Amino acid sequence: MTAQNIPNFVSHLECSWTGERAEAGVPQQLSPAGKPYLVRYDLEGAAAALTKETVAARGGGMWAWRELLPVSRAENVVSLGEAATPLIDLPRFGSAHGARAPVVKDEGRLPTGSFKARGLGMAVSMAKELGIGRIAMPTNGNAGAALAAYGSAAGMETYVFCPADTPEVNVREIALQGAKVWRVNGLINDCGKIVGEGRKRMGWFDMSTLKEPYRIEGKKTMGLELLWQLGWQVPDAIFYPTGGGTGLIGMWKAFDELERIGWIGSERPRMIAVQASGCAPIVRAYERGERTAEPWQDAHTEAAGIRVPAAVGDFLILDAVRDSGGFAMAVDDAEIMAVRDRIAKEDGLLLCPEGAATAAAWARALDEGKVGKQDRAVLFNCATGLKYPMPPAPQALDKAAVDWEAIAEA
């Protein structure tokens, strides 16, 4: 790519609630209706310029899809090496449930160790393209780490606010990678309020989930990449850890765009929104038949990444779940951590708690007959498990008097 030659087919932005159009070439936050903007493309032009063979020749990864992405100049691409993330079967976990092994898309292999690299890499690239130099966001951990890394790579001034109980490794990572970070005695919505109030006082651009249009475009590459890896065969079900839900919304958008350019038909995977029982506003709204979700009070879960009491894009999540014939399901922390430990020991894959939540939900959905034993199910592991607290391992030996009986009995 040269500085001039990224083919760009963005036509406009569209309010996801009213359909009202807005200009794409200037900074935008929420629409006048207070809802997220979606990026719309000249898909006929994109279809003429992009082929499956071209994507394959580029070797996958987020930027292989540039005709379906918003950045228009290569000099504005802020990349830390976003390669395609692997699909990993869980044969023992599947066999234990008498079912086809679910497959994990392991997003923990991305820069900064989480799928937030996709959304924030795209959002920061577009901020650079639009001349934005100061950015801020609330985070439960991984998004702030990604914003810090990509913001530093772009030479931007970055501010991050996180709940006081955010995992220590995340807070230190954010600080080490150049952001100014504060712990806040509240939840992520309280942090978001600070960011919103600071727009006028500090002059920063609000990079909160779905409050700018471009994180969705980065996250949608999960869906594009997944179907490429599956040989353009649509899986039966996708279990997605859902807090703000940007990735679920983005993948649903990706499947629509792939159909419109003629690469897939009308078939869709069932989209399953997975939450923790201590913070399940989407599940509650789904079960009540509501299109929007009331904020969740006293949110708590060990899966911090999905502890989002109120999602700006709640209606988009619920629409995708229902339109796909999917469902929303909450799992307890005890289930989440037990499944994390089991898969680590039996299948060798260390999931983050949010990723383990999808595995726990798959197992329960299988038991309840909500998915079939031969269904091809994809579970999204959104971050490396190495970022999270692990059980203690206290065993020790005296080198001068090795206790072989203790070793044999361990």
pLDDT band at 3 (very low <50, low <70, confident <90, very high): very low
Q: Is residue 205 part of a domain?
A: no
Q: Is residue 333 part of a domain?
A: yes
Q: Look at residue 1 and tell me whether its pLDDT is greater than 60.
A: no
pLDDT band at 210 (very low <50, low <70, confident <90, very high): very high
Residue 236: how many other CB atoms lie within 10 Å: 15
Q: Is residue 160 part of a domain?
A: no
Percentage of the residues of the chain whose pLDDT score is greater than 70: 99
pLDDT band at 2 (very low <50, low <70, confident <90, very high): very low
Q: Look at residue 285 and tell me whether its pLDDT is greater than 80.
A: yes
Q: Look at residue 50 and tell me whether its pLDDT is greater than 60.
A: yes
Residue 6 main-chain phi, psi, to 5 deg = -75, 120
Q: How does 191-230 read in b/e, with b if 16+ C-beta sit within 10 Å?
A: bbebbeebeeeeebbbbbbbbbbbbbbbbbbbbbbbbbbe
Closest residue by Cα to residue 47 from 260, 264, 234 = 260
For 247-277, what is each residue's pLDDT tens digit? Answer: 999 999 999 999 999 999 999 999 999 999 9
Question: For 145-162, what is the mean pLDDT?
Answer: 98
Q: Is residue 287 part of a domain?
A: yes
For 212-259, what is each residue's pLDDT tens digit? Answer: 999 999 999 999 999 999 999 999 999 999 999 999 999 999 999 999
Q: Is residue 153 part of a domain?
A: no
Write down the pLDDT at residue 6.
80
Which tokens belong to 409?
Answer: 């009995």
Question: For 86-104, what is the mean pLDDT?
Answer: 98
Write down the pLDDT at residue 4.
54
**Model confidence, pTM:** 0.95
For 66-77, what is each residue's pLDDT tens digit? Answer: 999 999 999 999
Q: Is residue 192 part of a domain?
A: no
Write down the pLDDT at residue 258.
98
For 363-389, what is each residue's pLDDT tens digit? Answer: 999 999 999 999 999 999 999 999 998
Which tokens belong to 18?
Answer: 């009213």
Write down the pLDDT at residue 410.
85
Q: Is residue 294 part of a domain?
A: yes
DSSP assignment of 152-178: HHTT-EEEEEEETTS-HHHHHHHHHTT
Residue 88: how many other CB atoms lie within 10 Å: 17
Question: For 146-160, what is the mean pLDDT?
Answer: 98
Question: For 346-362, what is the mean pLDDT?
Answer: 98
Q: Look at residue 101 and tell me whether its pLDDT is greater than 80.
A: yes
Rg (CA), the chain: 21
pLDDT band at 121 (very low <50, low <70, confident <90, very high): very high
CATH number at residue 331: 3.40.50.1100
Q: Look at residue 327 and tell me whether its pLDDT is greater than 50.
A: yes
Alpha helices per DSSP H over 347-383: 353-367
Alpha-carbon 166 to chain mean position: 18
pLDDT band at 328 (very low <50, low <70, confident <90, very high): very high
Alpha-carbon 284 to chain mean position: 21
Alpha carbon of 229 to those of 1, 110, 122, 232: distances in Å?
24, 16, 21, 7
Q: Is residue 22 part of a domain?
A: yes
Q: Look at residue 53 and tell me whether its pLDDT is greater than 60.
A: yes
**Containing H/E element for 104?**
strand 103-106
Residues 214 and 39 sit within 8 Å (Cβ to Cβ): yes
DSSP assignment of 127-145: HHHTT--EEEEE-SSHHHH
Residues 78 and 150 sit within 8 Å (Cβ to Cβ): yes
Write down the pLDDT at residue 59.
86
What average pLDDT is seen over the chain? Answer: 96
Structurally, the chain folds into a number of domains equal to 1
Question: For 102-106, what is the mean pLDDT?
Answer: 98
Q: Quote the domain boundaries for residue 374.
A: 1-113+212-391
